[in-house]
Amino acid sequence: MRNTKCLWEQQLKLMEEEGLWSCVNVTEVKEWERAVEEHEEEYISGCVYLYRVSDVEPCSSLL
Protein backbone atom coordinates (compact mmCIF):
# COMPACT_ATOMS: atom_id res chain seq x y z
CA MET A 1 0.00 0.00 0.00
CA ARG A 2 2.82 2.40 0.87
CA ASN A 3 4.43 1.78 -2.53
CA THR A 4 1.15 2.68 -4.27
CA LYS A 5 1.01 5.99 -2.41
CA CYS A 6 4.59 6.80 -3.46
CA LEU A 7 3.83 6.03 -7.11
CA TRP A 8 0.65 8.14 -6.97
CA GLU A 9 2.54 11.08 -5.45
CA GLN A 10 5.24 10.79 -8.14
CA GLN A 11 2.59 11.03 -10.86
CA LEU A 12 1.02 14.07 -9.21
CA LYS A 13 4.44 15.73 -8.97
CA LEU A 14 5.08 15.11 -12.68
CA MET A 15 1.74 16.70 -13.57
CA GLU A 16 2.62 19.69 -11.39
CA GLU A 17 6.03 20.02 -13.07
CA GLU A 18 4.35 19.93 -16.50
CA GLY A 19 2.11 22.79 -15.39
CA LEU A 20 -1.09 20.76 -15.71
CA TRP A 21 -2.17 20.96 -12.07
CA SER A 22 -1.22 22.87 -8.95
CA CYS A 23 -1.57 21.48 -5.45
CA VAL A 24 -3.96 23.39 -3.21
CA ASN A 25 -3.87 21.16 -0.14
CA VAL A 26 -3.03 17.66 1.10
CA THR A 27 -4.67 16.48 4.31
CA GLU A 28 -3.98 13.22 6.12
CA VAL A 29 -7.12 11.68 7.58
CA LYS A 30 -6.83 9.06 10.32
CA GLU A 31 -10.43 7.81 10.09
CA TRP A 32 -11.00 8.04 6.36
CA GLU A 33 -13.17 5.08 5.54
CA ARG A 34 -14.63 2.11 7.34
CA ALA A 35 -13.01 -1.18 6.48
CA VAL A 36 -15.06 -3.17 3.98
CA GLU A 37 -14.87 -6.58 5.58
CA GLU A 38 -17.58 -7.45 8.08
CA HIS A 39 -15.09 -8.61 10.69
CA GLU A 40 -13.19 -5.31 10.46
CA GLU A 41 -14.68 -2.58 12.58
CA GLU A 42 -12.02 0.07 12.36
CA TYR A 43 -11.48 2.94 9.99
CA ILE A 44 -8.51 3.08 7.65
CA SER A 45 -6.30 6.10 7.20
CA GLY A 46 -5.83 7.99 3.96
CA CYS A 47 -5.00 11.30 2.33
CA VAL A 48 -7.20 13.83 0.59
CA TYR A 49 -5.47 15.60 -2.30
CA LEU A 50 -6.97 18.86 -3.59
CA TYR A 51 -5.61 20.08 -6.92
CA ARG A 52 -6.50 22.95 -9.22
CA VAL A 53 -6.41 22.34 -12.96
CA SER A 54 -4.19 24.90 -14.69
CA ASP A 55 -5.50 27.08 -17.44
CA VAL A 56 -4.22 25.18 -20.45
CA GLU A 57 -4.97 26.16 -24.01
CA PRO A 58 -6.86 23.38 -25.85
CA CYS A 59 -4.78 21.45 -28.33
CA SER A 60 -5.58 22.65 -31.86
CA SER A 61 -5.58 19.07 -33.16
CA LEU A 62 -8.60 18.33 -30.97
CA LEU A 63 -10.68 21.20 -32.36
Question: Residue 17: inside a domain, yes or no?
Answer: yes
Q: What is the pLDDT of residue 51?
A: 92
Q: What is the pLDDT of residue 55?
A: 81
Q: What is the pLDDT of residue 24?
A: 94
Asked if pLDDT for residue 2 goes beyond 80, the answer is no
Question: Residue 40: inside a domain, yes or no?
Answer: yes
Question: Residue 41: inside a domain, yes or no?
Answer: yes
pTM score over 0.85 = no
| Segments forming the whole domain that contains residue 29 | 2-55
Give the list of residues 6+ apart from residue 25 with CB closer than 8 angstroms, or none.
Answer: 48, 49, 50
Helix, strand, coil % over all residues of the chain, rounded to 5: 30, 40, 30
Question: Residue 60: inside a domain, yes or no?
Answer: no
Q: What is the pLDDT of residues 18-44, one digit of tens each?
A: 888 899 999 998 887 766 666 666 777
CB 54 within 8 A of CB 24: no
**Structural domain tally of the chain?**
1
